[in-house]
Structure 1
């Protein structure tokens, strides 16, 4: 299938208004055609004026055979015997009042029985029913009714049903989620036990408000959920409504802000009015920083529409009481930019922090999302949780989904552990690319990654063992060394930071020891080591300069980060900082060089195993260091060949500045 055909199939459908019918182009053309037809009906093309005759003359023409066709119509308005004769002659033998020769004629008068009998004998006259006043009225008025009704159906009703008309422009766009469909409870939310405990009393209040009112307790008016993207803020708000079994209104902060001043404030008032009508209920405002940003900040003053909307929100939150059963829940990942008036007690009384899940929380999240996926018996969710530090709940759900898609592409009936590992590597470091290196570059990358693996295995104290070493290119790196922490690392002592710098130097030293030359493969390693060393000196106080923070910057939040800086150290101190950073890097470089020299034999064997198998596990590195050879079997991790459509795609060229690298930071998540 070509790319164009594929894009056509995946092209999104045209948007439709929330209510009513879509404004189809075909209906517009129908309206135009009917309008044109009505115009021609009411204003037919001008024809020559007929000649006016008497009935006797018409009877004579009929007897002589000069009538081509004719019609007899009784006119009830003129009397019982009053008739109208119309028709045409065979030739233009008549003249109208304008003196023009014509075939058409008309005659009006009383038609006797003998005349009627003679006209019927000619067999050219046809009798028509009588024309009444009501028939004439309908004939003239019906086209107008049809055209006006069609225009009303197409335009007026369409604007009203779409909710975008002038009358509904200031209405709230909050969507009410039904309680019977897609109900979410606390059992569907994992990894944030403390946050669930914080909001559990809100559920109790919505179920039994008198329990708190008897002792004078007042439930918070508003709850602000703060946390990184993907941690489950919206999901937790839906779970509160599901547990309490109350209506749930959801709206985004950007839905309030419009080009016209006053529209957002009107929508805020309408939203609270809807909440009062459906009390008890929950109103959830996602990304509240879009409307709740600090007023009067930034270049060029503030935004009148956004500030008026915020003022209306502040007044409405002060104007209602929680006794009505309306609770506001908002979510943001930028609490630092919110206006202080929005965070004071009486508005958003409570802030619930939802952070990235720990190792236990990640395993619980994986178990929740694994309910919909058929997993093999060899899938250990605890091992997956250990290998995904720093990942949010949304990223963990995406990990299992990618593993299921990968297993389906390989025609498997269950998701295996190898599929999960492949999906994790794909999400964290990118797709594998197998046709970007020749043999010479592959040997260079093998020595580079062997250097990282040997140094990490020697320095590891049991908390960060080597998990996997590979020379399969992924993303912008041509190889990677990953390690699997046995627990979440919350603090990083000086010894561990120095070990990280030493391990980062392992690839460069291994290249120099084998080839006698350097490559740009250590670009990312050197950058990471320098960043750690500078943080040790300037932020952590881990140098001879003492416990002094010298990296403080005053960033202007509303202008962008790192735009304005305030330098608080002198030039002499800055020179000392550079010397201290250089001393740390040079000392760890020498330390790494000593380790690799002492374990040169292990380095060679690890590199040889990588060249043969492309990927080896951390236990194989430990076996080489301990026994001098690999004892356990190496399971091939080469994925089976994909369909030709995927295999035929050309591989991307690697970035020249990051030819090889190592992975395995305690925070591997790109987020």
Structure 2
């Protein structure tokens, strides 16, 4: 609330309002007439019988008292609605009834009493609105941005790890905000808009706060969904108000989180959203209008850059696109060290083990893993977090918590053991670059009756056709093991089939890995407009005949890998049964135990099949 509004801040004003409302309520209660106690006919009968002592006549009502029914009793009050009766006055005089009257009330007075509460409410609302207080009806067009001043942003670059490339991209922004005259002296201009693009949980919002903290400037934070309301024009008004506030506090940073909620591609026809598009148009105008030398920098974050409007991404608006990608092994280790500053560890080298196990994890995942490890250590009444807690925390986040209360029948446990052993053997025998860390038939998560934890030997950014085919084979290994042992399949392979089909579809439609169709991609809907401005096509961009051939290629790819893993497991059916028996006895098998089991079953002249 601003200091220019002492009316709301002073307590005497609140006391005055309370007294006025109390007096008004008393006056209204005083003017409320008592409801009729009987009818006008009953009143005339009582008057004829001499029971009426005195009356008070008003334009609308007759009220008074009746004689008591017994000796020494109290007079009985009454009230009736007045009816036009010319003989009433004569009858009252004849029965010697004491008569008093009231003047008719002014209609303007009644109207004033009715409008006075509304006027007080309107006055209080306007005073609150002029003071900038929340809840005023005139404040709906004001920006809802959370403003963090210099001292309220404790985040620095030392708190952000695993995004070294993004930090380097944003370093010159910090230098501009610290000393803009160095750039303006040479005619240089800082980018108007900086778009942080990356998967969820990679630290885009944290990185924007770190930039504001390092530059020591005010930070305006707002979500893209907060601009759009049900009232027409509110979003555009909030955009104007946000930039007006930012100019007053320049140099500063405006940060819009989840930009895709506001900057989605504008549509035409019945699918158009007029309010959201007007808000986007106002944002585009503001980006064109403000002078970059003022020192207002717009930063935004999104994980769906492919649906953003091309006009928002052109040069002169969001000039710079910074990729905040998933961290590599060194980045994951740095992130774990940041989150483990206040966590006592038995051995700090255990963090390297976690970083190796969590390929593809983002910063939010790593923070969750470390927190789960702390909770496990506290539950076990330990003073420090050890490797056992960290390893179990990784499994808990990846596969879900153990559900030992779910009791499977012996037949189901045996089938699950063969299923998981089929995955494990297929991974050891076919999937180069993948190691089996653990096999378990303990139910976990929502629907997993068992799981096989596989870890890549190193971070990979490219996958060959052979490696993708090997992954399909490993996914089909559980279903094939059930076919070989039981002669039929169960519903346990549903998730495996979904993942295998998705890989095969991506190979045929997206990666051009089909010999029959050639090096052509048909996955047009995944094309991103981030750099070329194209929106992408649809599934109808090719003929029905070509769609049929694509389906045949996907089916052929799955069938070939099914036949491959069937041949491999059928040749080692005894190893499959022995491994399942050992898994049934222990419920859990480590990767080292599996490797020893496979090595003991292989003869010296047998060689491992290439993936």
With structure 1 as the length reference, what TM-score do the two structures score?
A: 0.68
Partner residue, 1:184: 155
Match in the other structure for 1:251: 222
Once the two structures are superposed, the pairs formed by residues 273-422 of structure 1 within 5 Å of their partners are 273-295=244-266, 297-300=267-270, 302-377=272-347, 380-422=350-392
The residue aligned with 1:480 is 451
User: d(CA) in 1 for partners of 2:119 and 2:136?
Assistant: 19
**Cα deviations across residues 378-421 of structure 1 (Å, max 9, x unaligned)?**
76222222222222212221222222223323333222323233
TM-score, normalised with respect to structure 2: 0.74
Query: For residues 496-546 of structure 1, what are the alpha-carbon distances to aligned partners after superposition, in whole Å with 9 as ceiling and x for unaligned?
Result: 122223222322332233334332323333343344334434443434315
Structure 1: 5+ residue runs without aligned partners?
1-18, 22-27, 50-97, 103-145, 630-671
Aligned residue for 1:230, secondary structure, equals: coil
Taking the TM superposition and a 5 Å limit, the aligned residue runs for 1:131-150 are: none
- 1:231-282 per-residue CA deviation (whole Å, 9 max, x = no partner) reads 1111111000100111111112222222233322222222112111111111
Q: Which has more helix, going by share of residues?
A: 2
On the 8 A contact 1:555/1:565 being kept in 2, the answer is no
The match for 1:233 among 191, 194, 204 is: 204
**1:540 aligned to 489, 495, 511, which one?**
511
Aligned equivalent of 1:585: 558
Give CA deviations for 1:334-393 in whole Å, capped at 9, x if unaligned.
223322222222221111111222222222112111223333327622222222222221
Report SS of the residue matched to 2:270.
coil
Match of 2:542 among 568, 579, 591: 568
Question: Which runs of no fewer than 5 residues in structure 2 stay unpaired?
Answer: 1-7, 11-16, 35-53, 56-95, 101-115, 530-534, 603-611
Q: CA deviation at 1:575?
A: 5.6
* Mapped pair 1:441 → 2:412: yes
CA-atom RMSD, angstroms?
A: 3.8
1:411-455 Cα offsets, whole Å, 9 max, x none, are 332223232333332322223222241112111111111122122
Q: Give the CA deviation at 1:318.
A: 2.0
For 2:43, the equivalent position in structure 1 comes to: none
Q: 1:266 to 1:419 in 2, by over 3 A?
A: same
Cα distance, 1:176 vs structure 2:
0.8
Is the CA contact (8 Å cut-off) linking 2:169 and 2:322 kept in structure 1?
Answer: yes
Contact 2:575 2:601 in 1 (8 A): yes
Moved more, 165-174 or 608-617: 165-174
Could you tell me which residue of structure 1 aligns to residue 589 of structure 2?
A: 616
Q: Shift in Å at residue 327 of structure 1?
A: 0.9
> How far 1:331 sits from its partner (Å)?
1.4
Separation in 1 of the partners of 2:528 and 2:513? 29
Aligned counterparts of 2:500 and 2:22: Cα–Cα separation in 1 = 75
From the superposition, tell whether residues 520 and 351 of structure 1 become closer, same or farther in structure 2 (CA, over 3 Å). same
Once the two structures are superposed, residues 176-205 of structure 1 have per-residue CA deviations (whole angstroms, 9 ceiling, x without a partner) of 113323510111111211111111000001
Cα 1:251–1:590 change in 2 (3 A) is closer
Count residues in correspondence: 510
Cα offset, 1:628, TM superposition: 5.5
3-state DSSP of counterpart to 1:469: strand
Establish whether residue 596 from structure 1 lines up as the match of residue 585 from structure 2: no
Q: 1:219 aligns with which of 190, 199, 207?
A: 190
Rounded Cα–Cα distance in structure 2 between residues aligned with 1:594 and 1:484: 25
Larger gyration radius, structure 1 or structure 2: 1
1:566 match: secondary structure: helix
**Helix, strand or coil: the match of 1:195?**
helix
Secondary structure of 1:330's counterpart equals strand
- Asked if 2 retains the 8 angstrom alpha-carbon contact of 1:288 and 1:332, the reply is yes
The secondary structure found in structure 2 opposite 1:345 is: coil
Whether contact under 8 Å (2:264, 2:308) holds in the other structure is yes
In structure 2, the CA distance between the partners of 1:34 and 1:420, relative to structure 1 (3 Å rule), is farther
Q: Is the 8 A contact 1:178 1:247 kept in 2?
A: yes
Partner of 2:483: 512
How many Å separate the matches in 2 of 1:147 and 1:282? Answer: 44
CA–CA distance in structure 1, aligned partners of residues 141 and 549 of structure 2: 61
Aligned position for 2:67: none
Structure 1 CA distance, aligned partners of 2:349 and 2:238?
Answer: 49
Q: 1:525 to 1:33 in 2, by over 3 A?
A: same
